[in-house]
């Protein structure tokens, strides 16, 4: 990974040296190498990068992206291998032409007649996969059944490109696929075309991601991709990367003062100061091999953590600032994965493996006899109390797929809450008690009883009082993304982890 980062910085430096050849590389390009007009554009385009919100305002002119040659403004980066490109975007203003365009593009070169493929949204709502197979060839198109898409994703695996699109808040609809060889190294980026040589149009791009996914030979839980901690505004659904590491970072919890996140990496818990972008290791005493099942008490004074020092995981409690860990669950009875505190601090709930069955258990936070709350065959996991202490939410595979369930605090009245065609894990209730956020895996990628690393996942939210769910984040992640409660104290944000083998120096990156 360190060699990759060195090569990456070399590429960035090289892009800066090309600025005199008509390309521009400045801080305004964010995660990209540069930006330029493609083709004989009459009116120059530009990009403005908002570092605070990590958004891009792209202006572009040009007659079209069609036929044998193109004219538009392109904000680009040179990338090799497989990748996943994703963004939310929208035009600014009413516009002039019905076929003004914004999208994510992959090009062989910056020449106007280059072979390319792009996922594009037109001013009249047409959403399509457009491509030119060879230099100077006529552009072809596969139209999506979805129109006026707000979210587009374009993925390359080998020479196969897959476009996925959605209205903001919805899951992706039917895919469009195409086999196309554009070479190993390509230009990828966001673009705007006005469809009128005399007009400049603008669009705003948010949640712009270039992901390098797990290679086919990656051995799960032995090799890892890099990680990014992101903070998601639940109102705008704009997400900001606040920290990156070539290591596996997992399960960020928000502290009660709103200033820090507690996450785990390589068996150690860290307190990450958001304002300073600095992590500090927490002392957990004899509990040295901590996993991503750790929860802060409602009063913010204590942690319950899970540690598997040389054997199955057992539960501990430890002061929030660190200190000697006190064992709560017993060794020798099976693994225990801690997930929730009662609001009064008297009880802990956890997923326990006992005799080959995984169920929800409750135990006094000071230790003592454990009480089994679920008895249905199959995996019950991720238990968490509501802020009023009346209910425990959990996820269960008992109905076939993994779904969100709720029960009374004593284990009675177990009721299924979600019922769809996905695998839904780790429900977390907002501090104000109004919302439930959870992570969704695709059943085509993941078995119901599994929540692995490095998959296409959604983060979804639903009203605690009942009602439809909506997607608030589209990402590449899974294990460690939101295993633990991740709401900010004011219920306005969540923290989560996404994954990629490609890190960007415009965001804070771990030095170790």
Q: What is the mean pLDDT of residues 110-138?
A: 98
How far CA 393 is from CA of 388, 405, 510, in Å, comes to 12, 6, 35
Q: What is the mean pLDDT of residues 270-284?
A: 97
d(CA 163, CA 179): 12
- Listed in sequence order, the residues at least 6 apart from 368 whose beta carbon sits closer than 8 Å to its beta carbon are none
Which residue ranges form the domains of the chain, and what is each CATH number?
A: 2-211 (2.60.120.200), 280-481 (2.120.10.30)
d(CA 57, CA 202): 7
Confidence of residue 2 (pLDDT cuts 50, 70, 90): very low
**Segments in 361-459 forming alpha helices (H):** none
CA angle 163, 418, 494 (to 5 degrees): 70
- 63-92 pLDDT, tens digit each: 999 999 999 999 999 999 999 999 999 999
CA angle 28, 33, 37 (to 5 degrees): 80
Q: What is the pLDDT of residue 27?
A: 53
Q: pTM of the full predicted structure?
A: 0.93
Q: Which of 126, 129, 180 is nearest to 157 (CA)?
A: 180
- 441-480 pLDDT, tens digit each: 999 999 999 999 999 999 999 999 999 999 999 999 999 9
In which residue are the tokens 């040009």 written?
Answer: 62
Q: Is 321 exposed, middle or buried (0-12, 13-18, 19+ CB in 10 A)?
A: exposed
Q: Is 188 helix (H, G, I), strand (E, B) or coil?
A: strand
In this structure, are residues 62 and 37 in contact, taking their beta carbons and an 8 Å threshold?
A: yes
d(CA 180, CA 74): 21
Sign of the CA dihedral 458, 269, 249, 235? positive
Q: Which run of H or E residues covers position 253?
A: strand 250-254
Confidence of residue 309 (pLDDT cuts 50, 70, 90): confident
Residue 45 phi, psi (nearest 5): -95, 180
Q: Which of 286, 256, 290 is nearest to 270 (CA)?
A: 290
- DSSP letters, 359-389, are EEEEEETT----EE---SSS-EEEEEE-TTS
Q: How many CB atoms lie within 10 A of CB 67?
A: 13
């Amino acid at each position: 990974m360190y060699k990759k980062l060195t090569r990456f910085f070399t590429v960035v430096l090289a892009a800066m040296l090309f600025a005199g050849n008509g390309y521009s590389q400045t801080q305004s390009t964010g995660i990209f190498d540069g930006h330029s007009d493609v083709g004989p554009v009459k009116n120059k385009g530009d990009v403005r990068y908002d570092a605070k919100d990590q958004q891009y305002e792209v202006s572009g002119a040009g007659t079209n992206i069609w036929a044998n040659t193109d004219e538009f403004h392109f904000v680009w980066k040179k990338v090799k291998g497989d990748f996943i490109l994703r963004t939310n975007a929208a035009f600014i203003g009413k516009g002039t032409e019905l076929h003004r365009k914004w999208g994510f593009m992959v090009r062989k070169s910056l020449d106007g007649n280059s072979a390319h493929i792009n996922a594009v949204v037109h001013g009249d709502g047409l959403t399509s996969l457009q491509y030119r197979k060879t230099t100077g060839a006529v552009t072809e198109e596969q139209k999506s059944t979805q129109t006026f898409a707000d979210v587009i994703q374009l993925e390359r695996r080998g020479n196969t490109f897959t476009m996925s699109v959605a209205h903001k808040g919805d899951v992706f609809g039917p895919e469009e696929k195409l086999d196309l060889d554009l070479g190993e190294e390509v230009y990828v980026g966001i673009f705007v075309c006005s469809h009128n040589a005399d007009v400049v149009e603008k669009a705003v791009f948010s949640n712009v991601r270039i992901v390098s996914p797990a290679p086919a030979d990656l051995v799960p839980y032995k090799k890892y991709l890099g990680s990014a901690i992101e903070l998601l505004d639940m109102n705008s659904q704009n997400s900001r990367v606040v920290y990156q590491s070539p290591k596996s970072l997992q399960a960020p919890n928000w502290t009660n003062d709103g200033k820090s996140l507690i996450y785990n990496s390589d068996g150690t818990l860290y307190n990450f100061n958001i304002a300073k972008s600095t992590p500090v290791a927490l002392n957990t005493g004899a509990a040295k091999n901590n996993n991503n099942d750790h929860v802060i008490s409602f009063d913010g004074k204590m942690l319950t953590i899970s540690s598997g020092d040389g054997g199955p995981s057992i539960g501990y409690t430890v002061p929030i600032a660190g200190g000697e860990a006190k064992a709560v669950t017993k060794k020798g009875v099976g693994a225990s994965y801690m997930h929730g505190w009662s609001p009064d601090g008297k009880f802990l709930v956890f997923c326990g493996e006992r005799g080959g069955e995984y169920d929800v258990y409750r135990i006094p936070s000071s230790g003592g006899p454990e009480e089994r709350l679920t008895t249905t065959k199959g995996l019950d996991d991720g238990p968490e109390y509501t802020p009023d202490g009346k209910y425990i939410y959990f996820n269960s595979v008992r109905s076939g797929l993994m779904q969100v369930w709720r029960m009374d605090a004593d284990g009675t009245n177990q009721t299924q809450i979600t019922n769809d065609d996905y695998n839904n894990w780790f429900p977390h209730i907002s501090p104000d008690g109004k919302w439930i956020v959870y992570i969704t895996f695709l059943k085509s990628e993941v078995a119901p009883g599994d929540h692995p690393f490095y998959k296409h996942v959604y983060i979804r939210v639903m009203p605690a009082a009942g009602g439809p769910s909506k997607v608030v984040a589209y990402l590449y992640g899974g294990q460690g993304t939101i295993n633990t409660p991740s709401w900010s104290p004011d219920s306005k944000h969540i923290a989560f982890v996404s994954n990629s083998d490609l890190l960007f120096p415009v965001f804070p990156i771990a030095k170790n």
